[in-house]
Amino acid sequence: MKILWLKTELLHPVDKGGKIRTYQMLKELKKEHEITYLTLDDGCAAPDACDLAAEYCNELITIPHRVSAKFSGRFYSELAANLLSGLPYFIEKYRSQAMRQEIEKVLAENSHDILICDFLHPAINLPDDINIPTLLFQHNVEAMIWKRHYEVSDNSAKRVYLRSQWERARRFERQACRRFDVVVAVSKEDAEVFRSEYGLDRVFEIGTGVDTEYFSPINGDRTVKPNIVFTGSMDWLPNSDAVKWFIKEIFPRIKTEVPEATFTVVGRDPFPDLIELAKRDPSITVTGRVDDVRPYMRDAAVFVVPIRIGGGTRLKIFEAMAMGLPVVSTTIGAEGLPVNDGKELLLRDPENSFGEAVISLLRNRDKAEALSGRGLSTVRNEFAWSTIAKQFAEIANVSVIANENQMTAPPLVDDTFGRSVHSA
């Protein structure tokens, strides 16, 4: 197949879950298929990101696009302007007439077999007429993230804003999904939401993979220090909420039982309050962006995933298991992964039971090693990226065969003003 792959960012540095999944799958797909990677470029990628793109695509097309930095004056101005839009801000900010025109240009060449939209975000720039089969690769149910963020917020003004974003996200996501011939989800749970909430018929799911050569257990004895580690991009709302919740509600309980316990947060763009907290509390370390998360994971006694508002699946859980780490996660944190409480990890939700689970692993090394050993065995035997990419390619290929003569879907409409979202 010759694939036109749409994205809103270059992949290097490969430093967050969505990038990792896309990068690993494209590397595998490129072995047998030809990939044109068409993406927005906000100038924040690695200096050699375009050169390194040869690792995962045969042709690279970039469109310059400015995305405002969080907490900047321009960012808040855009949030205010977004109040008058029918689109959620996380979609609106990727609207690009230049990207739409470039997609039209490539499609006019009639040289691709399928168009794949990676994440929901590039869908805002789809042309009205698409002459090849289309597939939407959904790493999350985006509206679900906003719904859960709204549900856990305790700030009344913030709740009003979050509810608005959730409702807009749900409306746009439903419309966008119905434009595509096929939607691919990353879990059975997400796939069922697309069917039941959005009325989709052609929904498939693929698994989550892990690079077991890159993420591997430490040689020799694991640390005896009671260090707890979380990894994840801190500019993603579910991750920042998870860390705030853990520090406020869980970590104090752990320290009453294990006073020497420490907590390390590894991930780019930590929120300012967290940085200040770490400066005042020596038991909390905040690294910011790092080139390699493995040294920090190898220095961990327990890996935690206190996610409350996520969607999709968490690659970080399989990565931690591949490194032989015992994992404690919320149910939402492990949602969509074929793992079992008490076998590969511990699943706990209430504040005290989550903390108690962490404490039990810090205190009982034999229990921790038995848990981590079972997790390591599972990911090594069942979740290689080559297997996941093969599943994805089979779905795409069937879509090409089945949809060669299918008519294109109608353009998306901004419900607030009754106009095409491409008209601006």
- pLDDT band for position 182 (50/70/90)? very high
Indicate whether 349 pLDDT > 80.
yes
Percent of the chain with pLDDT over 90: 71
| Local confidence band at 312 (pLDDT 50, 70, 90 cut-offs) | low
Mean pLDDT along residues 354-359: 97
Cα distance between residue 35 and residue 208, in whole Å: 21
On the question of pLDDT at 139 being above 80, the answer is yes
Taking residues 23-34, what's their average pLDDT?
96
Question: Average pLDDT of 402-407?
Answer: 56
Higher pLDDT, 417 or 352: 352
**pLDDT value for 46:** 94
Question: pLDDT for 44-90, tens place per residue?
Answer: 999 999 999 999 999 999 999 998 888 788 888 988 888 889 999 99
- The confidence score (pLDDT) of residue 383 equals 87
In the block, residue with structure tokens 């719904």: 147
155 or 304: which leads in pLDDT:
304
Lowest mean pLDDT, pick from 39-43, 215-219, 295-299, 346-350: 215-219
What is the mean predicted confidence (pLDDT) over 290-311?
92
Query: In which band, very low, low, confident or very high, does the pLDDT at 219 lie, cut at 50, 70 and 90?
Result: low
138: exposed, middle or buried (Cβ count in 10 Å: 0-12, 13-18, 19+): buried
Please determine, for residue 412, whether its predicted confidence score (pLDDT) is greater than 60: no
- The H or E element containing residue 265 is strand 262-266
Average pLDDT, the chain: 90
- pLDDT for 16 equals 86
User: Going by C-beta distance under 8 Å and a sequence separation of 6 or more, which residues neighbour residue 244?
Assistant: 271, 274
Task: Give the contacts of 319 (CB within 8 A, at least 6 positions apart).
Answer: 210, 215, 231, 293, 297
Q: How confident is the model at residue 404 (pLDDT cuts 50, 70, 90)?
A: low
Q: Which residue has the higher pLDDT, 305 or 380?
A: 305
Cβ-based neighbours of 155, under 8 Å, separated by 6 or more: none
Range 281-309 average pLDDT? 94
Nearest to 390, CA basis, from 29, 5, 55: 29
pLDDT at residue 135 in the model = 97
Higher pLDDT, 237 or 405: 237
Q: Which helix (H) or strand (E) holds 151?
A: helix 142-152
Which domains, from first to last, does the chain contain? 2-209+385-420 (3.40.50.2000), 227-382 (3.40.50.2000)
Element (H, E) at 381: helix 365-382
CA distances from 360 to 307, 327, 353, 363 (A): 20, 12, 10, 5
Angle, alpha carbons 99-94-74 (nearest 5°): 125
Residue 220 pLDDT level (bands cut at 50, 70, 90)? low
- What is the pLDDT confidence band of residue 420, given thresholds at 50, 70 and 90? very low
Over the stretch 248-280, which tens digit does the pLDDT of each residue have? Answer: 999 999 999 999 999 999 999 998 889 998 899
Q: Is the distance from CB of 261 to CB of 255 less than 8 angstroms?
A: yes
The predicted model gives 23-40 an average pLDDT of 97
Whether the per-residue pLDDT at 423 is higher than 60: the answer is no
pLDDT of 409 reads 44
Instruction: Please state the rounded mean pLDDT for residues 142-146.
Output: 91
pLDDT confidence of residue 304: 97
Is the pLDDT confidence value at 414 over 70? no
* pLDDT for position 406: 53
Dump pLDDT digits (tens) for 83-133: 889 999 999 999 999 999 999 999 999 999 999 999 999 999 999 999 999
